[in-house]
Amino acid sequence: LKYAESFTACDSSVWDEVRRFLSSLKRLYAKEGKGIMFMETVMPNKKGLSQTRLDVIPVEDATLQDAPIFFKSSML
């Protein structure tokens, strides 16, 4: 694999694989009646490069529906 600063900066084949994995997680939690939110965090390290972490947060469907409104209002 080639280094990339974030998941969205990855080569398209890598990003496609990540999206397939995320879709699998969505299906897994849907069986439990939950949705999931993803949060990507990019942190610089001591070598001047960045390290990316993708958190998966399971939530109730009602919470998932309200999430875009909450995040949009928090950015204002």
Q: Which two tokens stand for residue 6?
A: 């974030």
pTM given for the model: 0.72
Which tens digit of pLDDT belongs to each residue from 33-58? 999 999 888 888 888 888 888 899 99
Which tens digit of pLDDT belongs to each residue from 11-37? 888 888 989 999 999 999 999 999 999
- Contact of 54 with 70, CB cutoff 8 Å: no
Q: If phi over 0 gives left and psi between -120 and 50 gives alpha, with beta otherwise, what is residue 33?
A: left
Contacts 24+ apart (CB under 8 A), 38-44: 40/6, 40/7, 40/8, 42/5, 42/6
Share above pLDDT 90 across residues of the chain, in percent, rounded to a whole number: 30
What is the H or E stretch that residue 29 is in? helix 12-30
